[in-house]
Structure 1
Amino acid sequence: MQENLVRLFIALGVFLLMVSWEAISPRRQTVTRKQRWPINLGLAFFNMAMMRLTIGGLAFFSAIDAGEKSWGLLNQLDLPFWLNAFLTWLALDFAIYLQHIITHKWPLLWRLHQVHHSDLEFDATTAVRFHPLEILLSMFYKVAWVYALGAEPAAVIAFEIILNGAATFNHSNVNIPIKLDRILRWLIITPDMHRIHHSTIRQEIDSNYGFSISLWDRLCRTYTADPAGPQETMDIGLPRMRAPQQVRFLRLLQLPFINNGRG
């Protein structure tokens, strides 16, 4: 219970920081907050309530269970706590990178993930625009990795806090000086880097899959440095989702069951 409150307060703090930064110094001009924010935040609250009533905290409790039963790779090694925690975080971050690629390449999972890409603009609320079934499947995927790794429980909580904060940051519409952005990209995913992944151009969508660190995209050659057009005016989202009736809350919940196209 306490760890959930800590995660919630940190997530809210990061979100408020980023939306304030967006208001003061935006990268792109956005005009549809009144239409988009109720949908995106509605999905966020729906998913939070669903997880709270079902399997919220499962990854953390799975890590405790794996430790008690000595399951998983790291539980077979006599490592200092700091190294165990670091390897847990690094492996889980790579797992999420792989998961992201799979959601794009496997048509059944793309049906769910397209809800995230259907946002026609790009700001901090885009980070929470996910179909509830994708959230559930993602949790079971993480649990499998937690047991296989023998993940350190404290590191699992830290990983989820970092992941949530990084996703809010790299989806935000904030203006970072170009030179600073290029430096930061050697370590973390910046908004300009991740915005490319939300492009309407197929080659750009199929790149920059990372959420926290840029290492995986660079190592696995899925890194794209610049979009074909300017960051300020590049098209965002799925072309077929531009009609207003396509982006209503209930429509997005139904989307995986009525359309599985990639365009």
Structure 2
Amino acid sequence: MMEAIVRFAVFLGIFLLMAAWELYRPKRRLSLSRQQRWPVNLGLAVLNVGVMRISIGAAAWLAANWAAEQQLGLFHALPVPQWLSIALSLLLLDLAIYAQHIAAHRWRWFWRLHQVHHSDLEFDTTTAVRFHPLEIMLSMFYKVALVVLLGAEPVAVIAFEVILNGCALFNHGNVGLPPVVERWLRFGLVTPDMHRIHHSALRQETDSNYGFSLSCWDRLFKTYCPQAQSPQTEMTIGLYELRDNAELGLMGLLVLPFRRLRDR
């Protein structure tokens, strides 16, 4: 219960901060208003929270506690100090989410679910929570397996979830940073300008900048795209094959993975 309260409190605080930032200093002028998009995106988020709470919501944290009790996993087998175990867990879990994101783009069945996220024709902090429930559940099973294999500390799991959610809200923001700050921050973290390229309608740009928190993975594995072909304020967001479905509602997004899939 405390784990859920901590995660929600941090999520709400960052969400409100980003929403206010977008309102007063937006990076792009949106063609679809908040009134058109937010009920769908936030409605999907509420649905996902409800589904997870009644099914496997705290599975990763519970798996970490179980692995600690049973002394299972890499970091319980190696004589490493707790601080190092936590640091390495955060690093390796972030790398694993990067790998999962690539799989979501390259495996056709996985893309069917992930396209719900990319079907948003605008880009703001609510895009960060626009995921199909089945993708959320698959991601949780994946994290549970990783947590047990690593023997990640429960505190590391909570910290990872908080960081991941916070970074997603930030780097999906319809905001811009001063060029100097953007340039330096991007060496360590995924920035809104960096991740916005990932939501470009151009295939070669969509298939780049997969990182959620740390930017190093894209540089290391050569999936980094430093600049879009079009200016950030003019680039087309979303998927060309779904532009005729700009008004997809909540039910439309839920059934989208099961519709006939047009080639990307």
For normalisation by structure 1, the TM-score amounts to 0.98
Checking the alignment, whether the CA contact within 8 Å between 1:67 and 1:150 is kept in structure 2 is yes
Q: Is the 8 A contact 1:241 1:247 kept in 2?
A: no
Distance 1:207 1:237 in 2: 14
Preserved CA contact (<8 Å) 1:246 1:252: no
Deviates more, 1:235-244 or 1:54-63: 235-244
Matches within 5 A, 1:92-241: 92-241=93-242
Specify the SS of the correspondent of 1:234: coil
Please state how far the C-alpha of 1:191 moved relative to its aligned partner.
0.2
Q: 1:234-261 CA distances to partner (integer Å, 9 max, x unpaired)?
A: 0000112222565111111000001333
Aligned to 1:83: 84
Contact 1:88 1:149 (8 Å CA) reproduced: yes
Structure 1 SS opposite 2:26? coil
Q: Name the CA distance, whole Å, in 2 between partners of 1:45 and 1:259.
A: 27
CA distance in 2, matches of 1:8, 1:74: 28
Residue matched to 2:9:
9
Q: For the structure 1 residues 244 and 108, does the alpha-carbon distance in structure 2 shift closer, same or farther, using more than 3 Å as the test?
A: closer
Deviates more, 1:31-40 or 1:18-27: 31-40
Write out per-residue CA displacement over residues 46-72 of structure 1, whole angstroms, 9 at most, x where no aligned residue: 000111111111000001111111111
Aligned length: 263
C-alpha separation in 2, matches of 1:244 and 1:120? 9
CA distance in 2, matches of 1:6, 1:253: 28
Contact 1:169 1:190 in 2 (8 A): yes
Cα distance in 2 for residues equivalent to 1:44 and 1:191: 20
Unaligned runs of 5+ in 1: none
Query: What is the rounded CA distance, in whole Å, between the counterparts of 1:238 and 1:65 in structure 2?
Result: 41
CA drift of 1:30 comes to 1.3
User: Normalization by structure 2: what TM-score?
Assistant: 0.97
Point out 4+ residue stretches in structure 1 off by more than 4 angstroms: none
Which secondary structure state, in structure 2, belongs to the residue aligned with residue 209 of structure 1?
coil
SS of 1:247's partner is: coil
**For 2:41 and 2:134, how far apart are their aligned partners in 1?**
15
| AA of the residue aligned to 2:12 | L
- How big is each residue's C-alpha offset from its partner over 1:196-251, in whole Å with a ceiling of 9 and x where there is no partner? 00001111111000000101001000000000000001000011222256511111
Residue pair 1:107, 1:260 contacting (<8 A) in 2 also: no
- Answer whether contact 2:14 2:166 (CA < 8 A) is retained: yes
Structure 2 unaligned regions, length at least 5: none
- Report the RMSD for the aligned CA atoms in angstroms: 1.0
Moved more, 22-31 or 101-110: 22-31
- Aligned AA for 2:111? W
Q: Is the Cα–Cα contact under 8 Å of residues 121 and 246 in structure 2 kept in the other structure?
A: no
* 1: CA distance, partners of 2:145 / 2:54: 21
Q: Quick one: which amino acid aligns to residue 215 of structure 2? A: S
Q: The residue matched to 1:186 in structure 2 has which SS?
A: coil
Q: Look up the SS of the partner of 2:175 in the other structure.
A: coil
Aligned partner letter, 2:10: I
Alignment identity in percent? Answer: 57
C-alpha distance in structure 2 between counterparts of 1:52 and 1:92, whole Å: 22
Give the whole-Å Cα distance in 2 for the aligned partners of 1:137 and 1:62: 15
* Contact 1:89/1:155, CA 8 A, preserved across alignment: yes
Q: 1:99 to 1:22 in 2, by over 3 A?
A: same
Q: CA deviation at 1:114?
A: 0.1
